[in-house]
């Protein structure tokens, strides 16, 4: 069984929220899954279902290093991630590249990006990559957000223009 961040019936905003929904359902049904089982659903199991387990799903030599660092502490790492809030996220790495986190950790991994405010927290996001489409690769998140907001406000007008071409 696998879970991902694209499961809309729960209403979760992200994978951390999805983990919590599975934990809550498990608890309501008498602790059907252990914390480790729930974590595996989002990592090793999901990769296996997609037949991507040769390259991701676990931290092993030769695989893509996707990981999250949190500040939450408990005796059990699986319990820590399931109890963590979004504010506990200190670093997100995708394929070994620091993409989101505190500026100190991001800089340690060579990523210098755009600063964001997440509530009262300051975080850095690094979206640049060599293979990016040139028309979007240089966009700042703030610019892309503004462009998307404007396009959504003008959606009916843009749809009419598109049909006319």
Question: Residue 141: which domain range?
Answer: 131-165
Local confidence band at 8 (pLDDT 50, 70, 90 cut-offs): low
In this structure, the number of other CB atoms found within 10 A of the CB of residue 41 comes to 18
If you average pLDDT over residues 67-88, what whole number do you get? 87
**pLDDT above 90: residue 127:** no
Q: Kind and range of the H or E element at 98?
A: strand 97-101
If you average pLDDT over residues 70-77, what whole number do you get? 82
| Of 146 and 137, more confident | 146
* Position 153 in a domain: yes
Give me 31's structure tokens.
């602790």
* Position 33 in a domain: yes
* Position 3 in a domain: yes
* Position 75 in a domain: no
* Position 100 in a domain: no
pTM, rounded to two decimals: 0.79
Question: In angstroms, rounded to a whole number, what is the distance separating the alpha carbons of residues 147 and 76?
Answer: 43
If you average pLDDT over residues 31-45, what whole number do you get? 95
State whether residue 34 is helix, strand or coil. coil
In this structure, the number of other CB atoms found within 10 A of the CB of residue 10 comes to 14
Local confidence band at 135 (pLDDT 50, 70, 90 cut-offs): confident
* Position 96 in a domain: no
pLDDT for 144: 87
* Position 70 in a domain: no
How many domains is the chain partitioned into structurally? 2
| C-alpha dist (Å) from residue 161 to 61, 97, 164 | 51, 40, 5
State whether residue 153 is helix, strand or coil. helix
């Amino acid at each position: 069984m696998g879970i991902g961040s694209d499961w809309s019936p729960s209403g979760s905003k992200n994978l951390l929220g999805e983990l919590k929904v599975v934990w809550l359902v498990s608890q309501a049904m008498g602790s059907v899954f252990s914390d480790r089982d729930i974590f595996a659903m989002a990592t090793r199991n999901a990769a296996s279902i997609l037949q991507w387990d040769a390259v991701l799903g676990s931290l092993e030599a030769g695989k893509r290093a996707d990981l999250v660092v949190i500040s939450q502490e408990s005796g059990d790492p699986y319990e820590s991630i399931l109890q963590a809030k979004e504010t506990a996220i200190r670093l997100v790495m995708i394929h070994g590249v620091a993409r989101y986190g505190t500026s100190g950790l991001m800089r340690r991994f060579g990523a210098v990006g755009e600063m964001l405010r997440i509530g009262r927290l300051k975080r850095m996001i690094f979206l640049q990559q060599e293979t990016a489409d040139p028309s979007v690769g240089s966009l700042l998140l703030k610019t892309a957000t503004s462009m998307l907001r404007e396009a959504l406000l003008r959606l009916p007008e843009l749809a009419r223009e598109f049909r006319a071409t």
